A and B are shown apart, each in its own frame.
Chain A
């Protein structure tokens, strides 16, 4: 970690520890004093604690449902925080096409926060491809499943897109490689709905991910993530469930 990151991390810990708005972390941290002593958190904690009890700030934003069934929980994102995520390169006419509607809406808002005018693809691939063609999209923000369904679009493409960004918690490079020629930049971004983005890699058969700024990665058997950002529910020593050998 850089000294600047150290300082920001200390500020984040102090912000959370002293917050009058929520006891969520305070209750689990108890007497832990240093960052290294803080216990891990995980989705299980987010599921067990209603959003109303883990809100550390009050600002306008959107709420997503993450997960399904008994594993589902609410994740709150302020618009400014969404905009600060490093999801994709800038583009003139980005197209957002994702299987999870909450993620699609959030990424559309990310485009707006970054002064871009996005188009969102509806679930039906034919409708999505019709819209993408009409808008003459120049970039794509997508997940793997949606990219596969979008394949016929590329057969009509005259010039490569400026970028394709695939957001996911796991990737299948072999499935993605055939799409490489359809964009000048092909980026893989490790992200979870509740944490946002935390690592990126260029597409290759064995992508090497590098940690994004303001993210602290620790390695257990899985990636333990801290994001140096004051989110409504901060991400501090969070078990991602993603194998730690994925990150370079």
Chain B
């Protein structure tokens, strides 16, 4: 079984080989860097265009690309360029972080029929689009963040004619799933060709650690890489004829969750909680994306346990919010001021919080 450190070593070996012996067709390769935001140090990965997400170019003539890292935007632009089936199509690699009111005029001008990106980014873009423009979107492709039912419902309501295509991928593995068939439920995927999947240490419900195996460049192989996700194999064959279906249930250990464009890290929550040790002894945090007056916002509920102490919920909310960083430079308090997150909701438990097995201190509200 491989973990992220093994993948980093493998990626380094491949990258050194790649630099020493550059490929003859550079247009078929792109280089990305894992951010190192969620765990460990960054490393560079090389991807062949055959690793690109599977698209249906016949209905994607005006595509908005909505990813954060520039390398993700450039590699998807390269895949778009190389696709022989989308002649005449245009791609707008939108800089979502810099969206401003004038974007409404420009988005109307571009008249997108499809979008592909982070769900939180697509939500932000939709806030600058009229109902008519949203109704003209046929395909919404998502990758990179978990999508709750709330978000799916929001997209269904805002983009009534759009098919939601969710691709399962990670920075270390690339795209894992195929273009979904018509029979898959949310959170269910078919593995793409060349990817072997396995669920290890399954519990009574068949839920265990998700493992990926696949061939990489220069004869290297990713073997049983533990992605950090919990998954289960679906025993029934899919009506589409595909024999292998898997369901992804969330992150193992909940080291981080992504909500409303921010990455909430358990380590950071632990650090902030340790600074609030005078206020409470233990905590569980649950986050979700909600829509308030048409705007996407993050919402965090903090359940705390304290053996003693009398600080009010407001005081705990204020103290914790001013200490916990949700981005490298902004605390929850600052994001609340910017109206990107709702004020922290604090609930006090009179009993110590459950510690069982895979219990999670930080989780995504389902």
Contact = CB atoms under 8 A, between A and B. Distances in A.
Nearest to A98: B70
B89 interface: yes
B19 interface: yes
Contacts of B92: 62-65, 74
Contact of A60 (B89, B98, B106): B89
A92 interface: yes
A76 B91 CA distance: 9
Given A135-B19, A136-B19, A127 B42 contact: yes
A112 interface: yes
A64 B105 CA distance: 14
Nearest to B74: A108
Interface stretch (A34-42, A117-125, A176-184, A240-248): A117-125
B27 A52 contact: no
A135 B15 CA distance: 8
A214 B166 CA distance: 45
Contact of B88 (A60, A74, A105): A60
A79 B81 contact: yes
20 contacts: A59-B87, A63-B90, A63-B110, A68-B100, A70-B102, A72-B103, A101-B98, A104-B74, A105-B74, A105-B93, A108-B74, A109-B81, A112-B78, A117-B22, A118-B74, A127-B33, A131-B42, A134-B44, A135-B19, A136-B19
Contact of B70 (A63, A76, A122): A122
B86 interface: yes
A140 B111 CA distance: 35
A134 B110 contact: no
B190 to A, nearest CB: 29
A116 interface: yes
A158 interface: no
A61 interface: yes
A15 to B, nearest CB: 18
Interface in B16-49: 19, 22-23, 26-27, 29, 31, 33, 35, 42, 44
Q: Interface SS of chain A: helix, strand, loop or mixed?
A: mixed
Interface string B35-71: 1000000101000000000000000000000000111
Listed from nearest, the 4 A-B pairs whose CB atoms lie closest are A117-B26, A50-B109, A63-B92, A108-B74
Q: How large is the interface on B (under 10, 10 to 19, 20 to 34, 35 or more residues)?
A: 35 or more
B264 to A, nearest CB: 20
A109 B88 contact: no
A51 interface: yes
Given A60-B86, A109-B81, A135-B44, A65 B74 contact: no
A120 B108 CA distance: 29
Interface of A: 50-52, 58-65, 68-70, 72-74, 76, 79, 92-93, 101-102, 104-105, 108-109, 112, 115-123, 127, 130-131, 134-136
Nearest to A52: B109
Nearest to B70: A120
B15 A134 contact: yes
B19 A51 contact: no
B19 A62 contact: no
A73 to B, nearest CB: 7
Given A50-B109, A60-B87, A74-B110, A105 B71 contact: no
Contacts of A108: 74, 77-78
B102 A69 contact: yes
Contact of A59 (B22, B26, B27, B88): B88
Nearest to A108: B74
Interface in B82-126: 86-95, 98, 100, 102-103, 105-106, 108-111
Contacts of A127: 33, 35, 42
B4 interface: no
Nearest to B109: A50
Contacts of B80: 60
Contact of A105 (B22, B35, B70, B86): B70
Contacts of A52: 109, 111
B106 A135 contact: no
Nearest to A119: B31
Contacts of A121: 70
Q: Which of B44, B74, B94, B95 has most chain A Cβ within 10 Å?
A: B74
A120 B81 contact: no
A217 to B, nearest CB: 30
B306 interface: no
Given A69-B102, A74-B92, A101-B98, 15 more contacts: A51-B109, A60-B90, A62-B92, A64-B92, A65-B92, A69-B100, A104-B74, A108-B77, A109-B81, A112-B78, A117-B29, A120-B71, A122-B71, A131-B33, A136-B19
B323 interface: no
B104 to A, nearest CB: 11
B88 A112 contact: no
Contacts of B70: 101, 104-105, 120-123
Nearest to A123: B70
B73 interface: yes
B26 A131 contact: no
Nearest to B36: A127
Given A105-B74, A117-B26, A130 B31 contact: no
Contact of A58 (B15, B88, B93, B103): B88
A58 B15 CA distance: 38
Contact of A101 (B81, B93, B103, B105): B93
A101 B100 contact: no
A65 B81 contact: no
A52 B61 CA distance: 14
Contacts of A62: 77, 90-93
